[in-house]
Structure 1
Amino acid sequence: MTHNIIEDIQLGRTALGIELGSTRIKAVLLGADHSPIASGSHDWENSYVNQIWTYGIEEIWQGVQDSYRKMADDVKRQYGVSLQRIGAIGFSGMMHGYMVFGESGELLTPFRTWRNNITEQASAALSELFDFHIPQRWSIAHLYQAILNEEAHVGSIHSLTTVAGYIHWKLTGRKVLGVGEASGVFPIDIRTKDYNAVMVEQFNALIASGNLPWRLEDLLPSVLVAGESAGTLTEEGARLLDTTGELQAGIPFCPPEGDAGTGMVATNSVAVRTGNVSAGTSVFAMVVLEKELSKAYEEIDLVTTPKGDLVAMAHSNNCSSDLNEWVGLFGQFAAAMGMEADADRLYGTLYNLALQGDPDCGGLLAYGYLSGEHMTHFEEGRPLFVRSSESNFNLPNFMRVHLFTALGALKIGMDILLKEEAVKLDAILGHGGLFKTVGVGQKIMAGALDVPVAVMETAGEGGAWGIALLAAFMLNRKDGESLEDYLNGKVFADKAGVTVQPDPKDVEGFEAFMKRYMKGLAIERAAVESFH
C-alpha cells in the first residue's frame, strides 16, 4: 500500500487542495484513490482594523506557505520522498468579501472579509434593482458601497476578486473564478454559467453618472466550471507556494472555488434534488434546485454548485451554542453530585432522552438566540426558555425543545423552499457537531424538514478535501463525465453512510412546535428590549 502511495507521489498521480477558512488554512494531498495521504494546517485569526474585519496580505501568504510546507513535510516523514510533482492543485476560501487591485497589481484597500456588515445601503439598493437578493457580504455589495461612500480608491480599480481568486492569480497568472465562487461575487445566469449580463448592464447604468474609468465587466474575473483547466503553476508561483524551491512549475490548476462549493463536493451534494445541512454554532442548508425560484426572498441566498447548477441557501445564525450551555449545566450538576460524566456520555444521555419526549415537546418553548437572527429579523438575541402552567415539564421534553429550537429559524427558510416553492429534495446530507451523537440530531432534522437525512463517515473531511476532489476531477475526468457521476462512481461508491427517514410523529410534532415558536417571537422581542 505504502509503495503505491510513493509511486503516486513520484509520478504526480496526486491532487492537492488548500482551503482558507476563517480560523484555519488547511492543505490536503490525495492519492490516486482520492483518500488523503498527507496534510498540513495553519491557524489564523482575522483582525478588526479601522472598523473592518481583515487579514493582511503577508498573513495570507505566510498561512498558505506554512500549510503547504507542513503538508510537504508530512509527505517526507511518512513516505521518505520529497514533493516535487503534483497531478493538480486547487484553492478555495471564504466566499464573498472585497479585494480590489490597481493597474500594477497593488491592493488598493485592506481585504474586507465576508464578516463585515457595512454594506446595508448597497445591499438594499442592488436587491431592489436586480429583483434578486444581494446579501451584505457579497463582493458586488462591497463595491457599490465603496462607490456610494465616494472612497478614493474606486477610480483606480483594475480588478476585483476573492481571496481564493487572488491566490490563484498570483500562482498561475490567470484572473478566474469557479462558478460557485463567482456566484457570491455577482449573480450568475445558470443558462450561460456566467455573470448575469442584464444585471451587469443594470449596474453599469446605475453608476454611469459617476463617470468612472471602468465598466463592471472589466473588473470581474472570468468564470469557469468544474472540470475546466484554470491555468498552470508558473515558475514564480512555484517559488511563492513552496519556499524551499523543490516544487516544479507547470502543474495544472482547477478553478478556485468558495467554501460553500467545496462543502457540497465533500458531502457529495452537487446533484439536483440533493442538499447538505451543516449544523454547529450556526446552521445552514444548501439545496440544489431543478429550476429557478418564483421570486426573490430576503431569507434565501442563491449561489451555484461548482458545475453551475442553482443552489438555494437558508442560513441561521444560531444553532447549538445555547443547547451546549444547557448540557454544560447538567455536567456541573453531575459533578456537584460526585458523578463523573465525560462530554460524550453527557451528550449521548441527554440527546437520547430527547427522543423519549412528547412529539411537540409537551408545550415547552425556547429560543437559543445568543446573537441576532436575520431569519426572524432580530438584531440582537436573548436566550430564553418559556413554559405555561399546563406544559408537560420533564427532562426529555426540555432536551427535545432545545434540539427543536436549534433548527427553528432554519425551518423558516426551508419551509419557503419546500412548501411555498415546492422544491423537491430526495435526501439531505448532515454534517457538523449536532450530528455527533449517533441518530439523534439526524432524527430531529428529518422531522424538522420532512426529508430523509443521511450522515456519512467522510462528512468531517471538510473543504480542503472538497477542493482537492475538484482538482482530481479536472485531472482524471473522461469526456462528457459529469461531476456528480465522478463523485458517485469514483469517490463515494464505497463510503458508508446511514439514512434516517422522517417519522410522521416527529414531523407533526415539529409543525405544532413551530406554531408556538412563531407566536412566541413577541416574548423574544420583549426580552431583547427589556434586558440591556
Structure 2
Amino acid sequence: MSTSELSLGIEFGSTRIKAALIDSTWKPVASGSYTWQDTQVDGYWSYPLEDAWTGLRESMRSLIDDYRNSTGAAPQIAAAGLSGMMHGYLVFDEHDRLLVPFRTWRNNRTHRASTELSELFQFPIPQRWSIAHLYEAILNSEDHVPRIRRLTSLAGHIHYTLTGKHVLGLNEASGMFPVDPATLTYDAKYVAMFDKILEKHGIPYRFLDIMPEVVEHGTGAGTLSEQAIKDFDPTGTVQAGLPFCPPEGDGGTGMIATNSIRPRTANMSAGTSAFAMVVLEKPLAGFHEEIDVFLTPDGKTVAMAHSNNCTSDLNDWVTMLTAASSALGNEVSMSEGFSALLPLALEADADAGGLTVIPYRSGEHLTGFADGVPLFLRSSDARFTPANLMRAHLFSALAAMRIGLDVLREREKATVERITGHGGFFTTPRVGQQLAAAVTGCDCSVMETAGEGGAWGMALLASFLKDGDGSLPDYLDRVFADAAVSTVAPTAKDLEGFTAYFVRYKAALGAERAAVDAGMNKG
C-alpha cells in the first residue's frame, strides 16, 4: 500500500464522531471514533461546539494510532473531507462568535416558519432545515438575527475553521435551502422571495451574504491551514496544505456509501434517525409536508422520508437489560447484549405479540409531535417476551419513516422495488435487514460495508477529489464493482405482522399525545 494514496473521511454523527482512512482500493485501513450525546439547552436539542472539537481530535488521535499499530508507519493522507448531521442552525457574527447555541435537526420548534415558507415557495421546507430555523428566529424577533454574518451546518463550520472556506457540497447545501438542480446553486426565485422577507423585517443583509458557497465534488474546497493543525490532529502527523473536498451531509454520505445516486436507486440510513431516500427520474407532481426534496452529492433530485427517532430508545432498553444481566451475575458487554438480544426478534410473534413501542425521545414531525416521550405499551393478554420486545422496538424504529414512504407511493405513485440499507440498524447480520424489508414492503439489500457508515462514504468523496477521474456515478460503480451484496425479500408472514403492528402503532399515538400534553417529556 502506498501511504500517499490514503483518503480520510470524518463524520459528525448524532451519537458518534468517526474518522475513516481508506487506501487506493477504497478499503478501510484505520479508524477512530468518539462518543457524544445531545442535550437540551433553552428548550433546544444541542451539542457544545467544544465537544465537536474534542471529538475531532480524539478521533484523529485514535485513527493515527490504529494505523501506526497495523503498519508501523505514520499515515500520509492525500485528501480529506468532513460530513455531519444535516440541517440545524449555526450562526456567527462578524468576529466568528457563535450567536446562539447550536440548534440541531432534532428540534421541532419551527412549525410556523416551515408552514409559511412551504406555502410561499410551493416547495417543502421541513422544520429541520436551516432556513426554517432562521425564519422562525425572525418571526420570534430574536435579537441576534441582525448580527448574523455566517449561517452554516456543523460540517460546514468545522470545514470553515480548518480551511477558511465558507462552502458546502450540494447535498448539505440543499438541506439548508432549496438548490436548483439546473444551476447547482441556491434557487434564485426562492432567494428573491426570502430577500423580500428580510427587507420587510428590516434585516440589514441579503440572504446570499450569509450563506456558504455551493461547490461541486471533484473540485477542491480549500486546504488545511497552518493555524488549524492543532485543532485537527493533536499528534502533529498531518501537515498544512492537506486538500479538502466540499463538506457534505450525512444523507449524502449515506447515498455514497450505498452507491445510490443514480435515478431509481433508493437507500435507507437507520441509526439515531431513520431516512429513506429515492433518487427521482422526474420532479414530484406536488409538494408534501411529509417529504423532503433535496439533491444527491452530484446534483440529482431526491425525495426523502425522514423520521427523527429510530434506535435511541432501543439502545436505552438494551443498556438496561445488559445492566440487569450483570446485576444477576452474568457480566456482559453492550456489544454482547446487542448480539444476544436483537436476533430474538426473528423468533418473535409476527406482530410482536401485542407489544407496542413509541420511541420518541424527541419530537416527530411525521406524526405531528413537537416533543416526544418514549412509551412502551402492552395489552393485558400480550405475550411479554424478550423476542417480542425486540421486534416491537425494531418495527417502531422505522414506523414513522414508513408514513413518509406511503405518501410517496400513494400520492406520487412512486415505485420502490429495492432499498439498500446502512447504519447501526443493519450491524447485526440479517435482523435489521429482514425487518426493514417488512416495514418498507420491498426487497432490502445490505452491502458488506453497511457498518462502515458515513465516514467511509465521506472518505470516498475525498478519494474522488484525489483521483479526479470522470463522473461521480461512474467512479462509484468502480468502487462497488466487486462489493458483496445480500438481498432479503419480505415474507408474507412478516408483511402481515407489520401491518397489524402498524395499526397498533398509529392507535398508540393518542397515548403519546396525552403523555406529551401532561408534560411527561419535561422530566
Report the Cα offset of residue 265 of structure 1: 1.5
- Show the counterpart of 1:179: 170
How far, CA to CA, are the matches of 2:388 and 2:106 in structure 1? 36
2:205 matched to 1:217?
no
Counterpart contact for 2:355–2:384, Cα < 8 Å = no
Unpaired segments ≥5 residues, structure 1 = none
2:27 matched to 1:39?
no
How far, CA to CA, are the matches of 1:500 and 1:523 in structure 2? 34
How far, CA to CA, are the matches of 2:327 and 2:16 in structure 1? 37
**How many equivalent pairs are there?**
515
2:360 matched to 1:366?
no
Say which is worse superposed, 102-111 or 214-223, in terms of deviation.
102-111
User: CA distance change for structure 1 residues 170 and 405 in 2, over 3 Å: closer, same or farther?
Assistant: closer
How far, CA to CA, are the matches of 2:188 and 2:33 in structure 1? 39
Q: Report matched runs for 1:287-302 at 5 Å.
A: 287-302=278-293
Say which is worse superposed, 396-405 or 72-81, in terms of deviation.
396-405
The DSSP-based 3-state class of the residue aligned with 1:87 is: strand
- Show the counterpart of 2:345: 351
2:10 pairs with 2, 18, 25, which one? 18
2:486 matched to 1:498?
yes
- Show the counterpart of 2:59: 67
Counterpart contact for 1:101–1:160, Cα < 8 Å = yes
- Show the counterpart of 1:314: 305
Q: Report matched runs for 1:149-298 at 5 Å.
A: 149-238=140-229, 240-243=231-234, 245-280=236-271, 282-298=273-289
Counterpart contact for 1:89–1:253, Cα < 8 Å = yes
The DSSP-based 3-state class of the residue aligned with 2:450 is: helix
User: CA distance change for structure 1 residues 42 and 330 in 2, over 3 Å: closer, same or farther?
Assistant: closer
The DSSP-based 3-state class of the residue aligned with 2:77 is: coil
- Show the counterpart of 2:474: 485
Q: Deviations over 1:377-404 (max 9, x none)?
A: 2444463545598x99999888766654
Report the Cα offset of residue 73 of structure 1: 3.5
Report the Cα offset of residue 320 of structure 1: 5.0
Q: Report matched runs for 1:79-90 at 5 Å.
A: 79-83=71-75, 85-90=76-81
Say which is worse superposed, 457-466 or 268-277, in terms of deviation.
268-277
Q: Report matched runs for 1:99-110 at 5 Å.
A: 99-110=90-101
How far, CA to CA, are the matches of 2:452 and 2:105 in structure 1? 23
How far, CA to CA, are the matches of 1:94 and 1:494 in structure 2? 29
Q: Deviations over 1:323-350 (max 9, x none)?
A: 6788899999999999999646753663
- Show the counterpart of 1:28: 20
2:460 pairs with 462, 469, 494, which one? 469
- Show the counterpart of 1:430: 421
User: CA distance change for structure 1 residues 62 and 212 in 2, over 3 Å: closer, same or farther?
Assistant: same
The DSSP-based 3-state class of the residue aligned with 2:269 is: strand
One-letter amino acid of the counterpart of residue 114, structure 1 = W
Unpaired segments ≥5 residues, structure 2 = none
**TM-score for both structures, normalised by structure 1:** 0.84
One-letter amino acid of the counterpart of residue 179, structure 1 = L
User: CA distance change for structure 1 residues 426 and 149 in 2, over 3 Å: closer, same or farther?
Assistant: same
2:131 pairs with 122, 137, 140, which one? 140
Q: Report matched runs for 1:335-346 at 5 Å.
A: 343=337, 346=340
The DSSP-based 3-state class of the residue aligned with 1:252 is: coil
Say which is worse superposed, 364-373 or 126-135, in terms of deviation.
364-373
Say which is worse superposed, 105-114 or 85-94, in terms of deviation.
105-114
How far, CA to CA, are the matches of 1:54 and 1:516 in structure 2? 32
1:124 pairs with 115, 118, 127, which one? 115
Say which is worse superposed, 104-113 or 520-529, in terms of deviation.
520-529
Say which is worse superposed, 212-221 or 137-146, in terms of deviation.
137-146
How far, CA to CA, are the matches of 1:87 and 1:328 in structure 2? 40
Q: Which protein shows a greater Rg? A: 1
2:437 matched to 1:443?
no
Cα RMSD after superposing both structures: 3.6
